[in-house]
């Protein structure tokens, strides 16, 4: 397994990036660049595969159910969010399939986005975008131009959330 060391971004760089994201969120739609990925089918087209989709239970009556962590229960109580399992889904997609798309070969990347969807909240739980793959993924680093263009958390989450509604 090849290991690479990436330079750590300085705190100020993260702060500037966060401030830019807030400006984008508060900007009129006409100013913000829109994603070209608008259909749920784009996930499969660009090598993403559904690897987990299950309801989260708020109570612990069933030992075989998947439980909501205590810290999340506190958030849901505080903001009066629905605790109905039908309203709380843990969904995870992995970019683990090589595809030929847009006239190019796109190798699998090991990227994975896992989130919890509630009508009033999205909780990011386990997220590694292509290019910054999850620990232990045994492929060598991929050149940027070979990465899937459907690589940003916001694009994948939009497509997932749109499907959940």
| Predicted confidence (pLDDT) per residue in 56-70, tens digit | 766 655 433 455 677
Q: Residue 5 above 60 pLDDT? A: no
CA distance 130 to 153: 10
Between residues 1 and 114, the one the model is more confident about: 114
> What is the number of other CB atoms lying within 10 angstroms of the CB of residue 91?
20
Query: Region 84-112: what's the mean pLDDT?
Result: 89
Mean pLDDT within 72-76: 80
126, β-bridge pairs: 114
What CA–CA distances, in Å, run from 102 to 8, 45, 142?
A: 33, 10, 18
CB 148 within 8 A of CB 46: yes
* Cβ neighbours, 10 Å, residue 78: 8
- Identify which has the larger pLDDT, 151 or 12: 151
Q: What is the pLDDT of residues 28-46, one digit of tens each?
A: 877 777 889 999 999 999 9
Half-sphere exposure of 13 (CA within 13 A, CB side): 4
Whether the pLDDT of residue 9 is over 70: the answer is no
Distance CA 40, CA 62 (A): 33
Which pair of tokens denotes residue 142?
Answer: 């991929």
Residues 125-161 have pLDDT tens digits of 888 888 776 555 555 667 788 889 999 998 999 998 8
């Amino acid at each position: 397994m090849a290991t690479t060391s990436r330079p750590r971004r300085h705190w100020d760089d993260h702060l500037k990036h966060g401030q830019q994201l807030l400006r984008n969120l508060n900007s009129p739609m006409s100013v913000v660049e829109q994603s070209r990925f608008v259909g749920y089918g784009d996930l499969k087209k660009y090598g993403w595969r559904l690897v987990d989709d299950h309801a989260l239970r708020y109570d612990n009556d069933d030992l075989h159910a998947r439980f909501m962590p205590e810290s999340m229960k506190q958030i849901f109580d505080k903001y009066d969010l629905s605790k109905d399992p039908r309203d709380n889904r843990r969904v995870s997609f992995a970019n683990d399939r090589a595809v030929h798309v847009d006239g190019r070969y796109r190798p699998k990347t090991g990227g994975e986005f896992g989130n919890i969807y509630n009508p009033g909240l999205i909780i990011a739980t386990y997220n590694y975008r292509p290019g910054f793959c999850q620990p232990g993924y045994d492929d060598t680093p991929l050149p940027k131009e070979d990465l899937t263009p459907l690589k940003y958390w916001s694009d994948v989450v939009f497509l997932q959330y749109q499907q959940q509604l």
